[in-house]
A and B are shown apart, each in its own frame.
Chain A
């Protein structure tokens, strides 16, 4: 059986959107896929040593909220100071109580399984980020590097 390949582009930097790339990549690796994730724009937040990701109900009418707040709580009020931190902490508690892995754990599992993590050099420069902010084992490259692998991949996802 020839090894299949999965290429993912991770572009989002919120707590909820950080999960799909790491869940899919670690699972694919467990199934024997050669896997690569290219982190660009806000997706670079997922490579930070200290993950400080937030989730917000703002602009996301599909987000279930505690006590059915998504049904009666005015959207405008979710912009109040402290709401984002509160929602983030509630989401993290919920995830822990349901046995969902932390992002740190999933990311570590990806690295253990030799998923290649590539940071978009252009975005790193654009946002004046420094490679010292990122975890070890990250490769820095551009779009051409991504296509080298994505072009031969069986599955390519933009997240």
Chain B
């Protein structure tokens, strides 16, 4: 996984909390910085894709590893 600037562990949280926490974390970051998100909600895979498309933030990477979903989002 590529480098990131901030990390958000949303493990154990269910819809819509991972998205809401990510939005909040991104709000405190500068444009171009990368947020690494860890989640256990399987719905978060489609949700972060949709979140990125609608907010303009770039979903750089999305993968599953050992039951955890990991995302890299670059702030627009």
- The main secondary structure of chain A at its interface with chain B is loop
Asked if residues A101 and B55 are in contact (CB atoms below 8 Å), the reply is no
**Which of A30, A32, A99 interacts with B19 by CB under 8 Å?**
A30
Collect the chain A residues with CB atoms within 8 Å of residue B51's CB: 30-31
Asked if residues A30 and B56 are in contact (CB atoms below 8 Å), the reply is no
* Minimum Cβ distance to chain A for residue B23 (Å): 4
Q: Considering only CB atoms and an 8 Å cut-off, how many residues of chain A contact the other chain? A: 13
- B45-61 interface mask toward A, CB cutoff 8 Å, 1 = contact, 0 = none? 00000010011100000
Chain B interface residue number, banded: 10 to 19
Q: Is A1 an interface residue (CB 8 A)?
A: yes
Asked if residues A99 and B14 are in contact (CB atoms below 8 Å), the reply is yes
- A23-34 interface mask toward B, CB cutoff 8 Å, 1 = contact, 0 = none? 100110011100
**Interface residue ranges of B20-56 to A (CB < 8 Å):** 20, 22-23, 40-41, 51, 54-56
Asked if residues B20 and A31 are in contact (CB atoms below 8 Å), the reply is no
